[in-house]
Structure 1
Amino acid sequence: MWIIFNYFSWALLCISYIFSLTQSVSKYITRSIIMCRLAFGLIIISQTVISFRTFNHHLIAIIIGWACSLILIYLIESSFLKRQYLRFNVWRLFITIILIIVNLIIQTKIDL
């Protein structure tokens, strides 16, 4: 159940992140930021539960997964800041999407 919840949270994060970067109206960007922050909370909750259940078996993968998740939160929040006030860099989007894929691969390894 927590694995499905975790993947659903990652999907929600990806959709709201990409949707917010393609919008030009500030009202829609704010809604997407709220959805991303909700997804952050859901990801942290599900990763915490999964980490407690598999801590003895996959310690290194759990630490790397948490580090990637924290870096992702930083990248997405700074992307929103850059999007609202400055010109957005496409490389930041590319790095964020790659890091999301890496984090999903790590989560899949932990969940198996």
Structure 2
Amino acid sequence: MKYYHLYILECSDGLLYTGMTNDLERRLGEHHMGKNPRSFTFKRRPLKLIYRERFIDVRYCIYYEKKIKKWSAAKKRALANGEFDTIQILAECRNMTHHKYQPTKHEIDTAIKEF
């Protein structure tokens, strides 16, 4: 059975790289050896594998790679550390215009009556 791997590398400068491959050992070797001088990781070696997940369906692997690439470094580190509650907290919208910060109709009506 063929597998696909989603992985996160921590670079020597602390930045994170997220990628996917169908041969994790080969791909990590390419990163470590600096096979591509134009790659994100080339000047950031040595690298440390901090997360990997295996998929059977390439479409799921691609989907999650694209999703995780958009995450903050804090969310990626929480994923790598298995801190799923932290991921949830970091995913919450903190914009004061978000609906969860807006008063409900009931709260407005109650405030008006109390005024």
Q: Under a length normalisation based on structure 1, what TM-score does the superposition of the two structures give?
A: 0.30
- The structure that has the greater radius of gyration is 2
Q: Under a length normalisation based on structure 2, what TM-score does the superposition of the two structures give?
A: 0.29
Q: Which has the higher strand share?
A: 2
